Chains A and B, each alone.
Chain A
Amino acid sequence: MNIRILKPGLLATVQDLGRYGLQKFGVPVGGAMDAGAARTANLLVGNGEGEAVLELTLGGTELLLEEDGLLAICGADAAAEADGVPLPLWRPVIVRKGVKIKFGRCRSGCRSYVAVWGGLDVPERLGSRSTYLRGGFGGYEGRALKAGDTLRAKTAGKLSVSLMKSLPAIPDGSGFAAAGWHAAHFALASHLEETVIRAMPGAHFPLLTEESRTGLFGETFRIGIRSDRMGCRLEGAHKLQLRQPLELLSEAVAAGTVQLPPDGNPIVLLADRQTTGGYPRIAHVASVDIPVFAQLKPGDRFRFEAVTQQEAERLYFASERDLQLLKAAVLLKGRT
C-alpha cells in the first residue's frame, strides 16, 4: 500500500516506539509523542503495536492513497475527511485507492497518528524507524515529510487481512467503510476545560521555596509557544524558585522529567529529549499521563496533581491492561 503526501501540514514524521540502548552515546529515545495513540492505531489495523506510523502535528495534512488498504487514525481529532466525508477515528477503516484524506484544524489534541496495515516501510536506523529530526536520521530520510513524498507499507499480515474481510464492503460511490466498533480513547482528555496531569515530586522538589512547592501542585500552567518534540516549556502565574541556587552535575533524565531552569519556567521533557540534563528535577509526569500531556498544544492549560510512586505504577498497569484487552478484542474480531 502506498501513501503519497500531498501536503505535510505543520509537521509530519514517521515514528515508532523509539530506540533504546544508545542513550549512553547521547542518542535520544525518540518515538511517538503519544505512544498510546500510536500503539492503539497499530492494533486496530492488525499490526504489532510497535510498527511505524505517521505522526501529524496540528492538522492540515493531505494524503493520497494509491492502493486500497486498511488504516486507523488515533490521537488528536483533526476533522479528518475522505473526499469530503468525515472519517471516524479510533477504528479500522478500509479506504479505496485514489481517495484523498484531508486533515483540518485540531478540535482536540494536537497530534494525530495514522497506522496502515503492515506498518510503514522505512529502514530501521539504530534499531528503530523513528525520525530524529535534530540528528537527521531515522524515519523517512531522516527528515520531516514533504509534499510529493511517497511512503510504502510492508505486506499486510494475516490478522490485518482477516480484519479487512470482517469489515463491511465499501458502498458504491463512497471512498471508505468503517468498522462498527471502536477502541476506548479515554486517554485523550484535552477536551476538558482544564487537563489534570498526574506527577510525582522529583529529587529536588524539597529544595523549592514553600510558595513554589504549593504552586507546582496547585497553580494552572500554560503550554508555552517554544515547545516541540524535545520538550514543553510551561508558563505559570508565578516563576518557581529554589530556596538557594543549586549547582548540579549533568545527570540522566527520563520521559516526563520536569526540570527547572534558572528563569523559573519549568520544562517537561518529551520524546526527543536530550539524554542528560543539569537542571534541578522538580517532578516527573506519571508514565500513564505522558500521552495526555503530549496532546496539549501551546496555549492549553493544565495543572499537576501529586500522586505517589505506587499510585503512578497502578495507573500505568491499568492502562497497559486496557491495551492488552484491545489486542485480545482485535484478535477475536479478526477470527469471526
Chain B
Amino acid sequence: MTKSAYDQGREGYPRLSPLGDSAVLVSLGSAIDEETHRRVTAAAAWLKARPFPGLRECVPSYAAVAVHYDPLAVKLSRSGAELRHATVLETVCSRVERLLEEAQTDAGSAPAHGRTVDIPVCYGGEHGPDLSFVAAHNGISEDDVIAIHSGEAYLVYMLGFAPGFPYLGGMPERIAAPRRSTPRTVIPEGSVGIAGGQTGVYPLATPGGWQLIGRTPVKLFQPDAPSPSLLGPGDRVRFIPITSEQYKRYREVER
C-alpha cells in the first residue's frame, strides 16, 4: 500500500485533547520538523475538505491542528451511535478520529505543495539598523549576512501572533543573534528581523526586541484583498535583496 502523507509515523499520535468546550486539539507530534509539519498540513486540509456538521474552522500550528466547533450545531446533528455519547466532545472526537483514519488509508491525502513567495527586502541602512550588529556578532561582513539570509527558502510552519505573521523555519545558525536587551517601543510594519535562531517579518507596527536587518515594502496582510494574507502554512519564503531606490518605488506603486 502506498504510504500517505498522513501516516501514523510516531507512537501515540494523533492524540486528541479538549481545548475548552468548543475546540479539540489534535496533536500529531512534539517537534518542529518538516515531517511533522507535512502531517499537520495534510490533516488540516483533509478535515477542512470534509467539514462535519458544526465545524467552525481548523487551525494548524507546529505539531497540532485545533478543531474549533459550535457545540450546539454538533449536538443537533448527532445521529446513530452518537446519540449515546455523554458529551459533544466525545462526538467531535469520534468524528475527527474517523476522518483521520480515512486519511491514513488514502494515498491522495498528501497536501498540495505550498507556493514559493518572493519577498523583496531592503537590507541595512535606515531600514535595517541592526545589520551591523548581526554581522559583528557572527564575525562576518554585512554583505555575508545579506547573502546568507537571502540564500535560503524558509518554510512557513504556521501563522499567528498577528494577522499574516509567519513563523519561519530554517534560518542558518551563522546569522543567529540574541534579542535586544531593551526592546524597541515601535518596530515599523514590514521590518525583517532576527531573534535567536529565528527570522521573521512584522506585518504591523508593534513593540519588539528583534534585531532588525531590513524592511520589505510588501504588505503581508491586506484586509480588503481577495486573499488577505500573502502567506499560508506550507508556503516557502525567499527574501530578495533590493536597493533603497527600489524600496521607494515599490512603496509608491503600492499606493
Contact = CB atoms under 8 A, between A and B. Distances in A.
Interface of A: 20-28, 125-126, 134-138, 142, 200, 203, 249-257, 274-276, 281, 284-287, 309-310, 312-313, 316-317, 320
Q: Please give me the 10 A-B residue pairs with the lowest Cβ-Cβ distance, nearest first.
A: A252-B66, A284-B20, A276-B160, A25-B229, A137-B223, A26-B159, A252-B59, A249-B62, A254-B23, A312-B21
B19 A24 contact: no
A309 B21 contact: yes
B61 A251 contact: yes
A17 to B, nearest CB: 11
Contacts of B61: 249-252, 276
Interface string B203-240: 11000000000000000010110001100110000000
Interface string B120-163: 00000000000000000000000000000000000000111111
A26 B160 contact: yes
Given A20-B57, A134-B204, A274 B162 contact: yes
Contacts, number: 146
A203 B203 CA distance: 31
B161 A21 contact: no
A25 B164 contact: yes
B53 interface: no
Residue among A27, A136, A142, A316 facing the most chain B CB atoms (10 A cut-off): A27
A33 to B, nearest CB: 16
A310 B162 contact: no
A317 B57 contact: no
A142 B163 CA distance: 14
B57 A24 contact: yes
26 contacts: A20-B56, A21-B56, A25-B163, A25-B232, A26-B164, A27-B229, A125-B224, A126-B228, A134-B204, A200-B21, A203-B17, A203-B25, A249-B30, A249-B32, A249-B63, A250-B62, A251-B64, A251-B66, A252-B65, A254-B19, A254-B20, A256-B20, A286-B21, A309-B18, A313-B88, A320-B72
A136 to B, nearest CB: 8
A280 to B, nearest CB: 13
Interface of B: 17-23, 25, 30-32, 44, 56-66, 68, 71-72, 75, 86-89, 158-165, 167, 203-204, 221, 223-224, 228-229, 232-233
A275 B221 CA distance: 15
A193 to B, nearest CB: 27
A20 B19 contact: no
A24 B43 CA distance: 13
A257 B19 contact: yes
A26 B165 contact: yes
Nearest to A253: B19
A310 B20 contact: no
A152 to B, nearest CB: 20
Nearest to B60: A24
B68 A309 contact: no
